[in-house]
Structure 1
Amino acid sequence: MKLIYLSDVLNRYRDVNDVNQTVHVMKYIFPRQFGLHNVFTSTVDFKESAHIFKDYTLREQEIAVLQQRRDIKRAEKEKTDMCQQKIPKRLRGMTVELVTKLRKLHQRCSYAAILQYYCPISVSSTRSANDIPLSFKALDKSRLASHALPKEVGNSTGNVATQYVNVEEPKYTELACSVSEVSAFCRAVLLNIVPHGFWGDTETYRQNEAIISKYIDMFIRARKSESLSIHEIIQNFKVRSSIHKRFIKLTLVDYRPVLVAMSTH
């Protein structure tokens, strides 16, 4: 029996040279193109979730059911290789290469080093870094039950006994990071793992990347009642560069019958 751990899809599928795994990751990034449940055209079944949007962290069962249906249809029409997953027309070529590169950058990225650089653990003047229990460093709550240090003391008879002295554990508030540090960490990770090709060519990717970084910072600093729309984020995006013309042409192909019908009236 194969166990699926509740981690993100980039960590569940580690073979960056496997094209099928790359296509599987693309199903999480572009679910609408693969006919999967998405936030744009699908409705949420409140019997499954009480939230406005579904949790898409683990959607292996949905993908397996959809793939099984498509395999049955393909088997009825013609005998094809069922191991090779079909890629939607709009995502072929460059998009597959970019997602493959993203997976490679994710494996090379040292998240711990970036976290330590942008969100260092600050200790008070009366406490050194060595006084912080390993449970806090590793986020292992099971080791917070007891924390004591051995200390050798002498008694009246001259014998040496070992006495355990309880060390005051630091509060979680002492290990908290500021909003600016969290924002800097998230933006640094994004710049390290997302290929420039996702944002455009050499003429536009810097501007688009800066826009995304700006709104990541805004999202992290936002309060509970504040909202952020997709339209607000992408309205300043430059998409008519040479690297994105292929996607625009594909969109025109999809809507060409509609455009022809409108031009005749």
Structure 2
Amino acid sequence: MKLGFIGCGNMAQAIIKGIIDSKLLPKEDIIASDNFEPCLDKAEELLGIQTTIDNKKIVEDCEIVILAIKPQGYFEIIKEISPSTSKDTIIVTIAPGITLASLEKAFSKEIKIIRTMPNTPSIVREGMTAICYNSLVEDNEVNKVKELFEAVGAVEIVPEDLMDVVVAASGSSPAYVFMFIEAMADAAVLLGMDRKQAYRFASQAVMGSAKMLIETGKHPAELKDMVCSPAGATIEAVKTLESCELRSSVIKAMVNCANRSKSIT
């Protein structure tokens, strides 16, 4: 199977590296294009894949084509490559807000399309990717694409009407988590801890807490209660966070994020 990427930035290179490291495909079967040649030079040097500046070559040579470009550039690229696609070409997108219906309309013909929404932790192979697809895609083709994204993290198949929720819940949420870690580290520095050490404590606490939630299967509230001793320091901190409406603020931010995702293009 030949796999092509139109766009070869950080996300594309992370996915490519995961695929090669997982031995899903040999590097010789992967080709990428980009209009920014330094990206291609970097991909050739670090990943050993084929590169080109010709987007049509990607479509003509590859069974699966991943559009790894900014959402604003999608329809221009689709107009360019559409005549080169065949009935067997599988187009995979990684952009928020661009629906299957709008993609089908842009291609102006029947085309197999799979929408995905990965997030930036894919760069360290701890990503979360959602997948939905149109009626022309067969189950074995979905499984092929699912396996590719599993090389950089977890994957869930969702109905398309949840894709904007996915953007809020995992696509954009690393930004919220980084802000939380930064705030915890700032507080530790205020209290006298070295900055580098503060980031280490805060980030390890977040990573360990997430792993604990996943591996125990316990409700987050139950795990929170395990840390909160009667009249203790933790419950005092929880009371403060509640008074600052932490949970309401997160919910409001995610709703706004999902709404924005619907109109991003």
For the aligned pair, the TM-score class normalised by the smaller chain equals: under 0.3
Say which structure is richer in helix: 2
What is the TM-score with the length of structure 1 in the denominator?
Answer: 0.27
- Greater Cα radius of gyration, structure 1 or 2: 1
What is the TM-score with the length of structure 2 in the denominator?
Answer: 0.27
Say which structure is richer in strand: 2
